[in-house]
Every structure is written in C-alpha cells, then in structure tokens.
Structure 1
Amino acid sequence: MAEKIISNKNNLQVLFEDNHIIIVNKRAGDIVQGDKTGDKPLSDVVKAYIKEKYNKPNNVYLGVVHRLDRPTTGLVIFAKTSKVLPRLNALFVSKDIDKTYWAIVKNEPPKIEDTLVNWLKKNPKNNKSTAYSKEVKDSKKAVLHYKTLKKLDNYFLLEVNLETGRHHQIRSQLSTIGCPIKGDLKYGFDRSNKDASIHLHARHITFIHPVKLETIHIIAPLPNDPIWDACTTP
C-alpha cells in the first residue's frame, strides 16, 4: 500500500480505519496516552474524531495498543472495540507485528547494516535509558537491526527494525554507536530541533488483521520538513 491519508481533519491524520482498528500518523509533540503533564492525549483526539464522524451520543471506546515517544512521529494503532484490544496486544507480545522506523543521524554508522545487542536500564528520575554491553542489575536485553538507506547532504537515513520494544530503545542504542538521532539532546545530539521533535519516524507497519485475517500494510507519510523531504527524492 502506498502512502495514503483517508482523513486529515483537526490535525489528525487517519491512515486506516475499519470497525475494529484505527491507525493514525502521530505528530511530534503529541502524547499517545494521558500523563502527569495534563496535556490532551492523542487518544482523546481520536475519540473525538470517532464521536463526530459516527454521531455517537455516548462515550467512545478506544484501546491504546502501544505508544510512541512524545518527540517521535509516525504510526500508532488503536483498538476501536474491547474485543479486538487483547488480540492486538497479543500480536505485539508474540512479535507478529512488523514495525519499521526511519531515523536521521548526523554521523555515519560504523557499518552499513548491523544488529545491535545491548542491555538497557531505565532511570525513571530523568526518563532515560542507558545502554550497556553486558547485563547489569535491572537491565533488559534490547535487540535491533539497522541498515543505511541513504546518504543525505549532512546526515544519514537509517532503517531500523526492532526485535524488542524497550524504553527509548532506538534512541539509546543508536547513540551507543555514535549515531544520536537528529534533535535528540537527551541521547547526545548537539542541538534540538526548533519544534522539539526528533527525526525518528514509525514508517511502516505490517500485521495480520486479528478479525478479518487480512494482511494490513500501512506507510506513514513523513513530516513536512526539508530533511525528511530529501529522504524520498531521487
């Protein structure tokens, strides 16, 4: 499936929707689920969209299946029914959902493509994960695969596939090989982006629909940004 937006209303890009699932393209700065900041979460925006579109008089059900970091953009899946939520959760647990990310980094990776294995330990005080080469107390194993897709004028475009889903995994692991993501001050980039985003985008997702048993493949359009634009130009 090519990049496709089926609705772009009230700053909400809907990329797929049926009776069971809705997939949206998250903007930088949006939080997927409510937190201590009190900012309106993306889940509430999606509920309002469903309520208006289908003229629902009562509360709208929406299940949060997974999350993206606040400064990250791209694909987020929500469950529209309580029946399908545990089925989608099971797909993530069994790793039967294929997620591909694009990341823009300043430095050239040591290898064109590689598998990174680290042990990540989260520090809740600064909301940061430190990557270790060996297992340490309270750490969790993290595995990702990357390959270099394109050399840009001043950056490199990497494609990343996760085997595990750890806190800040891509950000932390790429930083360990000297490739912090553009704009990511927390993990070693030298300056922030003006909009507080980082150049990490959940680009592709593929899975078997848990009800219809059809293959769903969605590509999230890239943010409107000159550097992202350069990634798709010949």
Structure 2
Amino acid sequence: MLKRKGDFKKKRGPRPVNTMDVPFIPSPLYDQIRLVDETDDYWVWEKPAGLLVEKSAIFPSLESYVFKKDRAERKKPFVGVVHRIDRPVSGLVIMAKKKSILKMLNERFRDQKINKTYLALVQPCPPKLEDTIENWISKDAKTKMAHIHKKKVEGAAQGILEYSTMQSSEGKCLLEIRPKTGKYHQIRVQLGNLGCPIVGDGKYGSKVRPNEEEIYLHAWKIEFWDPASGKLKSYETAVPAFSTNL
C-alpha cells in the first residue's frame, strides 16, 4: 500500500552529549567553583554545595559553566559529564574534554575502578566507630528518593560502603566514607537507615538544617588511572568548613 506524504515520520537521532540547548543561568555560585587540575583530556573541578552538576533549564550548573568557559577557549568545545554528585553536596567532579575519554572514564566508573572518598558530618554518631554497610537500594522516580530493602527486590541493587570515624564531639561525628558502589543517594540513604543521618539532609532523617542549599557531605578525594598516560592520578580538596562544627 502506498503511503501518503503525511504518513512518514522523521526519525530522531541521539541527542549530542555536548549540545547546550538550555540558557546559561548566571549565579554567584560560579565564583566558588575551583579548577583543581586540567589536562588535554579532562578537567577536575571542585563545586560548591547548591550547584547542579548537569545542565538544567531552571538551575545553574557546573556543566553550563564549564561549557561557556570551554567555548571561549576552544574552536570545538566539548564537555562530557563523567559522574555526578547531588546538588546539595560539595566536592570533586571530573569532566571529559573528548568523547573517547568520556567513554573510557564512564567505563571505569561502571566497573568500579575509580575510588572516591567522602567526608560527612552526621548526628547522632553511628553505633560503631567503623564498619561496612551493605543494603539493597531502589530509587523511587516519583519522589526522587532512595529506599533500603532487607533483601533483593525488583528494581533494587546492592549498595556497599565503608566508613570510619575521624572525630566526634557532643553527639556529632565526622566520618570518612568510601563507597564501593555508586547507587542513587547511596551514602545519604544508608547513613539515614543506620540512624545517623547527614546533618542538613532532611530527606533522610536529619532534624537539623543549617543551610537550605547544603547537606554536610563532601566529595573529598578521587583516584583513578589516567586513560591517556596510564598513570595513577589522585586528587584531594581541603577539609570542608562544616568539619569545624564539631
């Protein structure tokens, strides 16, 4: 049967990774972004709490900031988001300059070959000074919250993290956290489920909210093998200001 002209539908191709199809939103938070390192293949940034990593039509983002900077410096700008940390979380973020590097670093994250260390201020303190936590974690797309399950259920994946106590005072503890998996809100929901929510994280049980835009969780260190040189790269920020709240 012959098709009329109106019967044909144009097929849409995949959305380009670096297409900045949202407006640039000015923000004073951009003044708090710090470039930790830059190579021919990637950047390492330290972002403040309150700033999204991925671009948004309504909120300022690290991706938009980096793309604007890159567009002013290179003829063919490209910004590839390798991984994300939540908007109210501060700390280290890697962004790729090339599609090939983005693919390689994404694979390293998927295969858990990139080590990340976080600092978190929790209240109250966990039952043990150090421990390994294992849970089944699912994401509720409607509420944008993670949930803990005692056993494997449909849609849940295993989440594992290690923590150790660095300092403690007056019922609050500064924890060093080493996630072994990278699930949605993993650190936040696992600590909340343990009964020691991150200070400021009302979603997962904190009764204290010092800052509307921030929870006291910081991506402190990151370590990975450079995809081009093959050398081990380690990056670390200063200890965040919230660590003085003990």
- With the shorter chain as reference, the TM-score category is 0.7 to 0.9
Residue 179 (structure 2) pairs with residue 162 (structure 1)? yes
Q: How many residues align?
A: 217
**How many Å separate the matches in 2 of 1:38 and 1:194?**
20
Shift in alpha-carbon separation, 1:128–1:90, aligned structure 2, 3 A: same
Q: Which runs of 5+ in 2 are unaligned?
A: 1-29
Q: Is 1:40–2:60 an aligned residue pair?
A: yes
RMSD after superposition: 1.7
Could you give the per-residue CA deviations for residues 196-227 of structure 1, whole angstroms, max 9, x where no partner exists?
2000000000111000111111002344x3x3
Within 5 Å, give how 1:26-175 maps onto structure 2. 26-35=47-56, 38-52=58-72, 54=73, 56=74, 58-175=75-192
The Cα of 1:51 is off from its aligned counterpart by 3.3
Residue of structure 1 in register with 2:34 after alignment: 13
Distance in structure 2 (CA, Å) of the matches to 1:191 and 1:173? 18
Instruction: Give the whole-Å Cα distance in 2 for the aligned partners of 1:50 and 1:154.
Output: 45
For the residue of structure 1 that corresponds to 2:100, the secondary structure is coil
Deviations 1:146-204 (A, max 9, x none): 11111134520111111111000000000111100000000000032324200000000
Q: How much does 1:11 deviate?
A: 3.0
Distance 1:178 1:41, change over 3 A: same
- Deviation (angstroms), 1:93: 1.4
Q: Which residue is equivalent to 2:23?
A: none
Amino acid of the residue matched to residue 199 of structure 2?
K
Residue segments in structure 1 that go unaligned for 5+ positions in a row:
1-8
Q: Distance in 1 between matches of 2:89 and 2:129?
A: 24
**Alpha-carbon offset, residue 17 of structure 1:** 0.6
The alignment partner of 1:83 has SS state of helix
Paired residue secondary structure (1:176) = helix
* CA apart distance, 1:97: 0.7
Question: Which shifted more, 214-223 or 14-23?
Answer: 214-223
What corresponds to 2:231 in structure 1? Answer: 214
Letter in 1 for 2:67: K
Q: Relative CO higher for 1 or 2, CA cutoff 8 Å, sep ≥ 6? A: 1
Report the Cα distance in structure 2 between the residues aligned to 1:50 and 1:34, rounded to whole angstroms: 15
The one-letter code of the counterpart of 1:51 is R
Contact 2:70 2:78 in 1 (8 A): no
Higher alpha-carbon Rg: 2
Asked if residue 228 in structure 1 is aligned to residue 230 in structure 2, the reply is no
Any conservation in 1 of the 2:49–2:90 contact (CA below 8 Å)? yes
Give percent identity, aligned residues only: 34
Q: Distance in 1 between matches of 2:156 and 2:187?
A: 16
- Describe the SS at the equivalent of 1:207: strand
2:45 equivalent to 1:24: yes
Instruction: Please state whether the residue corresponding to 1:101 is helix, strand or coil.
Output: strand
1-structure distance, mates of 2:243, 2:234:
21
Match in the other structure for 1:186: 203
Taking structure 2 as the reference length, the TM-score comes to: 0.83
